[in-house]
Chains A and B, each alone.
Chain A
Amino acid sequence: MSVTDRILVAVGVMVLVLLAAGAATAAWLAYGYGTLEVDVHSDDPGGSAISLRLPGALVRIAAELVPAGALREAGREAAAWLPVAGAALSELRRCPDSRLVDVRSRGETVRITKRGGTLLAEVTSANETVRVSIPLRAAATAIEELNESAGSPGGDAKE
């Protein structure tokens, strides 16, 4: 095997290792933080259909990218309710799967369900269906980030 071949093999192995590591990291993040899902489907004339899938890990990444000032302001505005939301999320993660809210009226249903590590909200009307799936761990991370920002006096690192 020539030197060139050896270099090519080494580069190929490195690329494979990097791809495998990237895939493993993505799988770990997807498993750990879940996937934020939003589906909107409208039957109205000209109505839209939106389907969004975002890794829950993006919450932490986004928190790093958002200017500290904006995050701190949001945290302060929500400060009174952050501990409440944090405690509720913590308990929701522990409680068994269940349908928490089920409202059915003429032509419309609203359901909020805890399934696995996810809070699922579904609103169905005659012409529209909205489905939002929020990974509880990602939501808890968002609360933590806001809490830290609200409490940090400076927070200039990201500014």
Chain B
Amino acid sequence: MRRIALLGMLMAVLSGASSAPAAASGQWLHVAVDERGPDGATVRVNVPVELVTKVLPLVRHENLTGGKVKVKLGEEDMSAADLRVIWEAVRSSRDGVYVTVDGPKEKVRVAKRGEMLLVQAQESKEKREDVEVKIPLAVVDALFSGAEKDELNLVAAVEALARHGGGDLVTVNDADSHVRIWVDSDESAK
């Protein structure tokens, strides 16, 4: 469930694309889902980053206002403020693996490498699900750049994403499907 929440949040961040017009110009956010099997569905979504950056600040829905979202995660009510403190500690530390969860059903690894934050999750052999998330550090910095401590700045995050340029952001591989989310300058998913 947490992974789904994380992916959902990430999608919100990614689809919240940047508000720096010059930087965002020409960049496209792509989502591709390929279900396995003869009846498997395929989904392709291609959205101009600039469109999302213009639209996102205007959306007012539940905790999302002005391109910023107030968050509380999990039953323990971990807030954005808590995340900010953790992030500041990680940001100022050298490269390495910061979180390793080696459970019977799931393995999770969070690492900082160069200018990227890497999250890898593997589920049990039965489910055969691998999740890999690569987020530029600048994007996470921007995410925590809001004035309020309990809010995440989605617009700033996508601005940073657009400035960072192309590349894979999320890949999910499991027994049933393959999901890929990435940014590049092509208007079609390739």
Contacts and interface: CB of A to CB of B under 8 A. Distances in A.
Contacts of B188: 98-99
B128 interface: no
Given A99-B188, A103-B41, A104-B42, A84 B59 contact: yes
A101 B44 contact: yes
B187 interface: yes
Given A92-B51, A96-B187, A99-B188, A87 B43 contact: no
A102 B51 contact: no
Nearest to A111: B44
Contacts of A103: 41-44
B22 to A, nearest CB: 14
A106 interface: yes
A80 B60 contact: yes
A91 interface: yes
Contacts of B54: 87-88, 90-91
A92 B39 CA distance: 33
Nearest to A80: B60
Contact of A95 (B42, B43, B50, B59): B50
Contacts of B39: 105-106
A104 B48 contact: no
A83 B48 contact: no
Contacts of A105: 39, 41-42
Contact of B44 (A84, A87, A90, A102): A102
B60 A100 contact: no
Interface string A59-100: 000000000000000000000100110011011101111111
Contacts of B50: 91, 94-95
Contacts of A83: 58
B111 interface: no
Interface in B43-71: 43-48, 50-51, 54-55, 58-60
Given A80-B60, A83-B58, A87-B58, A95 B44 contact: no
Nearest to A101: B45
A91 B44 contact: no
A84 B67 CA distance: 12
B118 to A, nearest CB: 30
Nearest to B39: A106
Given A80-B60, A98-B187, A104 B41 contact: yes
A98 B187 CA distance: 6
| 9 cross-chain pairs, A with B, having the tightest CB-CB distances, nearest first | A105-B41, A98-B187, A91-B51, A102-B44, A106-B39, A95-B48, A83-B58, A87-B54, A84-B58
Interface of A: 80, 83-84, 87-88, 90-92, 94-106
Given A88-B51, A91-B54, A105-B41, 18 more contacts: A80-B60, A84-B55, A87-B58, A88-B55, A92-B51, A95-B187, A96-B187, A98-B28, A98-B46, A98-B188, A99-B44, A100-B45, A100-B46, A103-B42, A103-B44, A104-B41, A105-B39, A106-B39
